[in-house]
Amino acid sequence: MIKPAYNIISTGLQKCYNSLGEEIHCENSGQDAEYSIGAIAKGNRFDVKNNLVHDLLTGLSWLKQADVFTYPLEWEETLDAVARLNKDEFMGYSDWRLPNRKELRSLVSHGAKKPALPRDHPFQNVFLGWYWTSTTSAVAPAYAWRVHFEGGRMFYGNKKDPSMCWPVRGESYILAQTGQKNCFSATGDKISCESSLQDGALQLGTNWPEPRFTVTPYGVLDELTHLIWSKDADLAGLLDWQEALKSIKALNKNSRLTWRLPNINELESLVDASQAKPALPVGHPFGETNEAYWSSTTSFFEPDWAYALYLHKGAVGVGFKQKAEFYYWPVAGPL
């Protein structure tokens, strides 16, 4: 039996699909839903009191209305609007903030669409488009990370473009820090973090252990999540999704560990949001890395597509399962 992974939430995907998008049995598929790695709520996940929703899984509290500012705003306008909520003690609180990328992604269920939220969610007026996070993109600091709640992708957007805002408050006992430690203007210039409400100013989440990674005879142990990763991040070149799953099975024939294709939340857990090309912690022990990696998580929005991590950027996107366009990176555990 696989133990729970530390600092990782279940993707929420409960079904398995082939490369044509047809539902199949999960047994021996090697897919996300066969293993269901990650934390899940025991009983009801959300506790609603008036217009505030407390997430019992993460410890964060969200507004029930997902459109508090009604219309999209530029990134800096959004940060200013949240600061005004605090000045006015909105709903009796003065600790509202724009969520960082891990906090906002924690709401995503990859087993749902339109919106990509847990099926029992109580939220209202969820916009099926982009929502800002407080985390600047390391590869392009004039851009910040956004989550798309129609299907659950995460890419960066120009800070001058408008997106929605979903304020949050409280601290999570399960989510890890993003790794970002600096603050940036809308033009990408480094600025003082004082009173900015940016991710780099608050640095909320579980502290990363030091060192983050330990090299073992079997692979690289991530001390944060207790997952073991292959030290070699390029084992077979570009593959389609089914080839990646088959390659894992072949790898296990001569291994003391039981390797598998990681789900998308496991892959994202490797990302250091302060870094790019690759978006991995400084001093990581992995070999040559590539632009993008398959996950074992099918896109519930379009089941003939699967989620992938764009490692050079740190983005969460999707790829067409039948196209050999991504690499695979085996994971084992958690131990």
What does the alpha-carbon distance between residue 22 and residue 154 come to, in Å, rounded to a whole number? 25
- Is the entire prediction scored with pTM above 0.85? yes
User: What residues contact 182, with CB distance under 8 A and at least 6 apart?
Assistant: 136, 190, 193, 200, 274
Contact 102, 168 (CB under 8 A): no
User: In the prediction, which pLDDT does 6 show?
Assistant: 77
User: In the prediction, which pLDDT does 1 show?
Assistant: 41
Helical H segments across 88-139, by residue range: 101-105
What does the alpha-carbon distance between residue 229 and residue 262 come to, in Å, rounded to a whole number? 9
Beta bridge partners of 146: 132, 155
What does the alpha-carbon distance between residue 143 and residue 91 come to, in Å, rounded to a whole number? 30
Contact 327, 234 (CB under 8 A): yes
* H or E segment and range at residue 251: helix 241-251
User: In the prediction, which pLDDT does 254 show?
Assistant: 85
CA quadruple 215, 218, 220, 221: dihedral positive or negative? negative
Amino acid occupying residue 50: N
User: In the prediction, which pLDDT does 255 show?
Assistant: 87
Splitting the chain (335 residues) into consecutive groups of 10 residues, what average pLDDT does each group show?
A: 72 98 97 95 94 97 97 98 98 97 98 96 98 98 98 98 98 96 98 97 96 96 97 95 96 92 98 98 95 98 98 98 98 88
* H or E segment and range at residue 247: helix 241-251
